[in-house]
């Protein structure tokens, strides 16, 4: 039972890592039905930005709390600027064109960003310092969960609640939902869809940057390629939970984390990916729109 | 009568001349073949060996050669391709070489070895690491100045048993050729040494989190973890293990014996063991060989340079000690005589594997890899 609990908690921690990235994926998809393959790269760039600014602040001898706050803020701003720009130059000109064009453009952006960081920074793995505080009271339970995992879990929960609130109860959220339902109609009733979509990308990228800082702190390392691997898993999680649904992305991530963790614990880690994809296939067979996804009827 | 004496005298002089003639045949150079990839994709693996052989031979010839005979190199290219290696071997046999330094790649070496064996030619490779080349016992004429692929795993397994005295271990790998190969051999040798391998699993390289498999290790109550793979995963594993309060030994391969591992894992790398090629950087002969290379060729030496340097030295030393170019005497001398080379004080065992150089166990101590003696 104790073993099960440990595995369950490590699955939860793993799930919250996936969820941090999946949230941004699903939000962009929910509004403009684009699978933004560059999302993983924004997450990686967020991590790198925090590493660079964090290192700079540390070298100036600033306190840890200050370093954490400002490097996260700067990496959010930086990543958001990236998201905004990418949307403007790589996706906006393709709006209204077949959906496949934007998808291919997204894959292209992903490659460009990876190689950009490879050339501009390094191909090596770099050490990522832990900016996050360690809770003394958690020490006795360190076999179950550690401070960084708990912070990631907490941040995921807070982000999920805030995003749901934003989309359900604010003016911008209303405009987002309108854009998601029918872009042309929304435009006709006076919604500035360019602005709405830009905001969506800025928000999604900001989330990726937060994810980048937290997850890199947990891994203790960073490399230009981390976004690709994390992006694939987060994408699976988002589809599993019902792509486009905010709570769905979180639930899907947890299901994925639990499956992988329990599969590893009770069977073998050799088949970790196999378990992840088996559960994806099973759920898509039973409920093709994902666990919390809404069925979209094709309009004739 | 007088005339007859004259004839005899002339005959005697001619036979004396003939004797001188045979004497000068004796003083003909000793031919040594150098075979390997000198052109093509893998030329960078083979050319440093040619340079090494040239440097050693120049040294010896400047001192008057061996037993009054000069050394001459016969260089043949095989591009690391088995079919070209047999051609190269046939050419060397017809050039009547006494011994061959080479070949470079294991596949090409294997193809050529049969030909050398039939012609009784000693062969010393600086780089062919395929274990059966020596272990099969098929090629008594074969020697190498590099440790075979399985030496590292054997060393790690013996270290687990004898030094750390572990009873039960977990073996993890990254599912790649290199990492899984190492892990499987360690498992095999550890089990032969009586260690119980409680867990043998592959993990996904690049994944952000390994806490599930770490929980599994902790649940299996093992007293050591072996990792076959590279350093990025190793640093995540040690970090996440120590965060969970697990302080059991962590042993890995030369994919982790890299300073990047210490840079990335930071304080978590303290105490980690890794096997890797024995450090030769402080060996004065290695320093001299590298300096000579820079002087002669104007560049840093390439792959397997020191191994080839040692191979040539060992071979020439054996010929000198044997006092002849007789195959059996050279083999006996290689197996019994020790020689000081850039790799250290080396000799060869009965199967042809190098003694005195190979892999060592290193441990991270105060942020540096330290060789454990």
Strand B30-36 with B99-101, pairing: parallel
Q: How many CB atoms lie within 10 A of CB B7?
A: 10
Total CB pairs under 8 A between chain A and B: 92
- The pLDDT, as a whole number, for residue B6 is 67
Which architecture, in CATH terms, is B151-277+359-372?
3-Layer(aba) Sandwich (3.40)
pLDDT at B313: 95
Q: Is the pLDDT of residue B24 over 50?
A: no
- DSSP labels for A106-117? HHHHHHHHHHHH
Residue B32's pLDDT is: 95
Helices (H), chain B: 2-26, 43-62, 82-94, 106-118, 132-135, 151-158, 177-192, 211-219, 231-243, 259-265, 284-297, 305-322, 327-336
How many beta carbons lie within 10 A of that of residue B367, not counting itself?
A: 12
Of A126, A264, A273, the CB nearest to B212: A264
Q: Which 123-142 residues of chain A touch chain B by CB within 8 A?
A: 124-127, 142
Please write the tens of the pLDDT for every residue from B177-194: 889 989 999 999 999 999
CB contact under 8 A, B215 and A265: yes
B interface with A, Cβ–Cβ < 8 A, is: 175, 201-204, 206-209, 211-216, 218-219, 231-232, 235-236, 239, 243-245, 260, 263-266, 268
Helix-helix angle A147-169:A246-266, to 10 degrees: 150
Check whether A194 has a pLDDT greater than 90.
Answer: yes
Q: Tens digit of pLDDT for each residue in B109-150? A: 999 999 999 999 999 999 998 888 999 999 999 999 999 888
pLDDT in tens, A115-166: 999 999 888 899 998 888 888 898 888 888 889 999 999 999 999 999 999 9
User: Mean of the per-residue pLDDT values for chain A?
Assistant: 91
Q: How confident is the model at residue B309 (pLDDT cuts 50, 70, 90)?
A: very high
Q: Is B12 exposed, middle or buried (0-12, 13-18, 19+ CB in 10 A)?
A: exposed
The ipTM is 0.90
CB A252 within 8 A of CB A237: yes
The pLDDT of residue B23 is: 44
* Pair A123, A220: CB distance under 8 Å: no
Cβ contact, residue pair A146, B244, below 8 Å? yes
Predicted confidence (pLDDT) per residue in B211-263, tens digit: 999 999 999 999 999 999 999 999 999 999 999 989 999 999 988 988 889 99
- Nearest-Cα residue of chain B relative to residue A127: B264
User: Using CB atoms, which residue from B201, B208, B266 is nearest to A218?
Assistant: B208
Q: Which 8-state DSSP code applies to residue A271?
A: G
Question: E strand or H helix at A26, and its extent?
Answer: helix A2-32
What letters, b where the CB count within 10 A reaches 16 and e where it falls short, cover B179-218? bbbbbebbbebbeeeebebbbbbbbbbbbbbbbbbbbbbb
pLDDT in tens, A250-293: 999 999 999 999 999 999 999 988 998 999 999 989 998 888 88
Domain topology for B29-149+282-355: Rossmann fold (3.40.50)
Q: Measured between alpha carbons, how far is A160 from A138 in angstroms, rounded to an integer?
A: 24
Assign B371 to helix, strand or coil.
Answer: strand
B67 CA to centre of own chain: 28
Which residue of chain A comes nearest to B231, CA vs CA? A125
Please compute the mean of the pLDDT values over residues B73-101 and round it to a whole number.
94
| Tokens linked to B294 | 């820079």
Per-residue b or e along A188-226, where b marks 16 or more CB atoms closer than 10 Å to that residue's CB: eeebebeebbbbbbbbbbbbbbbbbbbbbbbbbbbbbbb
Give domain limits for chain A: 21-228
Q: What are the residue boundaries of the structural domains of chain B, listed by start? A: 29-149+282-355, 151-277+359-372
Share of chain A above pLDDT 90, in %: 70
pLDDT at B15: 59
* pLDDT tens, position by position, B321-359: 998 899 999 999 999 999 999 999 999 999 999 998 888
Least confident stretch, A4-18, A180-194, B19-33, B82-96: B19-33
Averaged pLDDT, A184-211: 94
Q: Is residue B29 within 8 Å of B69, Cβ to Cβ?
A: yes
With CA atoms as reference, report the closest residue to A209 among A52, A35, A11, A4: A52
Residue B68's pLDDT is what? 86
Query: What is the phi/psi pair of residue B131, to 5°?
Result: -55, -45
| Region A237-245 average pLDDT | 91
Which of B201, B209, B263 comes nearest A270 by C-beta?
A: B201
Shortest CB distance from B216 goes to which of A219, A265, A273? A265
Percent with pLDDT over 70 in chain A: 98
So what's the pLDDT on residue B20?
A: 52
Question: Searching chain B, which residue's CA lies closest to the CA of residue A124?
Answer: B260
Nearest to A125 among B218, B232, B245 (CB): B232
Beta bridge partners of B76: B35
Q: To the nearest whole number, what is the mean pLDDT of chain B?
A: 90
Strands of B122-125's sheet, edge to edge?
B71-77, B30-36, B99-101, B122-125, B142-144
> Do residue A13 and residue B209 have CB atoms under 8 angstroms apart?
yes
Model pLDDT for residues A46-73, shown as the tens digit of each residue:
999 999 999 999 888 888 888 989 999 9
Which of residues 155 through 194 in chain A touch B, CB cutoff 8 A? none
């Amino acid at each position: 039972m104790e073993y099960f609990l440990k595995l369950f908690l490590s699955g939860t921690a793993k799930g919250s890592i996936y969820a941090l990235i999946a949230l941004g994926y699903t939000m962009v998809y929910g509004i403009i039905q684009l699978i933004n393959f560059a999302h993983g790269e924004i997450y990686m760039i967020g991590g790198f930005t925090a590493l660079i600014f964090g290192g700079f602040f540390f070298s100036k001898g600033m306190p840890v709390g200050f370093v954490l706050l400002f490097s996260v803020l700067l990496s959010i701003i930086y990543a958001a600027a990236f998201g905004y720009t990418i949307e403007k130059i790589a996706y906006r000109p393709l709006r209204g064109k077949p959906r496949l064009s934007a998808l291919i453009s997204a894959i292209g952006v992903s490659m460009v960003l990876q190689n950009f960081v490879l050339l501009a920074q390094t191909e090596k793995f770099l050490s990522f310092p832990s900016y996050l505080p360690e809770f003394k009271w958690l020490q006795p339970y360190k076999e179950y969960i550690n401070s960084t995992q708990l912070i990631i879990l907490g941040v995921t929960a807070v982000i999920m609640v805030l995003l749901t609130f934003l989309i359900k109860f604010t003016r911008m959220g209303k405009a987002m939902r309108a854009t998601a339902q029918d872009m042309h109609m929304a435009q006709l009733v006076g919604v500035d869809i360019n602005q709405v979509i830009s905001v969506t990308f800025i928000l999604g990228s900001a989330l990726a940057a937060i994810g980048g800082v937290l997850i890199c702190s947990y891994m203790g390392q960073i490399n230009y390629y981390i976004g690709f691997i994390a992006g694939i898993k987060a994408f699976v999680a988002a589809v599993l939970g019902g792509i486009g649904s905010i709570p769905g992305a979180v639930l899907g991530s947890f299901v994925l984390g639990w499956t992988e963790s329990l599969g590893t614990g009770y069977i073998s880690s050799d088949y970790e990916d196999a378990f992840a994809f088996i559960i994806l296939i099973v759920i898509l067979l039973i409920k093709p729109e994902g666990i919390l996804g809404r069925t979209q009827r094709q309009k004739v | 009568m007088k005339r007859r004496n004259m004839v005899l005298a002339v005959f005697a002089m001619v036979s004396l001349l003939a004797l001188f003639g045979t004497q000068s045949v004796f003083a003909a150079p000793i031919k040594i073949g150098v075979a390997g990839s000198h052109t093509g994709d893998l030329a960078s693996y083979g050319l440093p060996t040619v340079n090494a052989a040239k440097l050693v031979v120049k040294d010896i010839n400047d001192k008057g050669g061996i037993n009054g005979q000069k050394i001459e190199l016969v260089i043949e290219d095989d591009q690391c391709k088995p079919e070209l290696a047999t051609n190269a071997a046939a050419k060397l046999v017809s050039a009547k070489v006494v011994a061959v330094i080479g070949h470079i790649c294991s596949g090409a070496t294997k193809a050529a070895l049969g030909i050398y064996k039939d012609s009784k030619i000693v062969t010393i490779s600086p780089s062919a690491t395929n274990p059966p080349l020596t272990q099969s016992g098929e090629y008594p004429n074969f020697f190498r100045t590099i440790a075979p692929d399985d030496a590292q795993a054997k060393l790690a397994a013996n270290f687990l048993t004898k030094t750390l005295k572990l009873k039960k271990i977990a073996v993890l790998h990254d599912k790649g050729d290199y990492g899984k190969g190492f892990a499987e051999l360690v498992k095999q040798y550890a089990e032969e040494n009586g260690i119980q391998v409680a867990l043998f699993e592959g993990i996904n390289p690049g994944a952000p989190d390994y806490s599930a498999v770490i929980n599994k290790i902790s649940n299996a109550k093992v007293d050591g973890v072996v990792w076959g793979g590279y350093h990025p995963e190793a640093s995540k594993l040690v970090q996440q293990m120590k965060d969970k309060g697990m302080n059991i030994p962590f042993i890995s391969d030369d994919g982790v014996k890299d300073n990047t591992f210490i840079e990335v894992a930071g304080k978590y790398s303290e105490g980690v063991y890794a096997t890797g090629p024995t450090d030769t950087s402080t060996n004065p002969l290695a320093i001299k060989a590298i300096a000579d290379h820079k002087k002669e060729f104007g560049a840093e030496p390439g792959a397997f340079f020191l191994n080839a340097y040692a191979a040539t030295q060992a071979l020439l030393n054996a010929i000198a000690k044997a006092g002849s170019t007789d195959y059996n005497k050279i083999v006996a001398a290689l197996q019994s005589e020790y020689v000081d080379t850039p790799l250290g004080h080396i000799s060869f065992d009965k199967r042809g594997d190098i003694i005195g150089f190979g892999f060592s166990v290193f441990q991270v101590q105060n942020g540096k890899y330290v060789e454990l003696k």
